[in-house]
Amino acid sequence: MRTIFVFIHLAIFFIVTFPVYLVLLLLRKKNRLLSSKIAQKFVQWGFRFVTFPAGMNRVVLGLENVPKDTAVLYVSNHRSIADVPMAYITAPTLMGFVAKIEVKKAPFLSWWMELVNCLFLDRSDMRAGMKMILDGIDSIKQGYSIFIAPEGTRNHGKELLPFKEGSLKMADKTGCPIIPVAISGTDDVFENSFPWIKKSTCVIEYGKPVYPDQLTKEERKCMGAYCRDIITEMLKGHESYLVNNPSQKKK
């Protein structure tokens, strides 16, 4: 029943907000910033509305580490499709996600993603990938934070995959702060119980800012690996929150 309620809530959100989407699309042509701010408020409300029947118990740590007066590059591990709601509900800045190009084909979802300045990555086209990075640099310069998962795919293992260094060029070229983000438990909502949605505790932790210009030459050359090590350490502190999750009970 929980799974059915989630999809019903998702359908209600898209139907109810479609007129709002059309208004914001028109507003975007005149005032992109205002349109983005309003759109993100609706997206945050939508994710709360949809995740409520999913039974996601959110634990949020380290919000005080996120600068509120500047755009940042959020760099996160990636466990689940539920990572996106966790980030949008909790992040205190205007923010666009980097998503794979295939998501752009999804009606309604991709429309709202474009309103909140999400970027779409075609992993099979190097030139398109470079354009995405340039678009991200431009967005950050205009005051929009970007959220990336440099592992490149969902990873359910304890050890993080290598971080792709290219995506961190957005911070290197703009000098914006990097916020390491550690996410745990989100795959217990859906992926670990597929095709059913299960009640679970999900943890998101925002680490202290990393400023590219304060790193050594070697650290700046390998910022992906540098942030990966920080996130790995952050994840170790999440285990006590996840003791009641479905995957933990099976152990």
Mean pLDDT value of segment 27-46 = 95
> Is residue 25 in a domain?
no
DSSP 157: S
Between 243 and 68, where is the model more confident? 68
Tokens of residue 228, six digits: 């990966």
146-177 pLDDT tens trace = 999 999 888 877 889 999 888 899 999 999 99
The strand pair at 119-121 and 95-100 is best described as parallel
pLDDT at site 47: 94
Residue 250, pLDDT score:
61
- The number of folded domains in the chain is 1
Q: What is this structure's pTM?
A: 0.93
In whole angstroms, what is the distance from residue 251 CA to residue 249 CA?
5
| Predicted pLDDT of residue 224 | 92
Confidence of residue 35 (pLDDT cuts 50, 70, 90): very high
The answer to the question of residue 46 being in a domain is no
Domain holding 161, by residue range, is 55-249
In a domain, 4, yes or no: no
In a domain, 35, yes or no: no
Mean pLDDT score, 11-34:
95
Q: 31: exposed, middle or buried (C-beta count within 10 Å: 0-12, 13-18, 19+)?
A: exposed
Residue 22: pLDDT above 80?
Answer: yes
Structure tokens at 28: 């975007």
Residue 37 lies in a domain: no
- pLDDT of the residue at 194: 84
Give domain status of residue 94, yes or no.
Answer: yes
Structure confidence at residue 209 (pLDDT) = 97
Tell me the CATH number at 105.
3.40.1130.10
Phi, psi for 147 (deg, rounded to 5): -115, 120
Would 76 be classed as within a structural domain? yes
The Cα–Cα gap between 229 and 163 comes to 10
The letter for the amino acid at 92 is P
Q: What is the pLDDT of residue 176?
A: 96
> Quick one: CA torsion of 65, 92, 173, 140, rounded to 10 degrees?
-160
Q: Comparing C-alpha atoms, which of 113, 134, 99, 248 is closest to residue 184?
A: 248
pLDDT exceeds 80 at position 59: yes
The answer to the question of residue 2 being in a domain is: no
Location of structure tokens 């909502």: 189
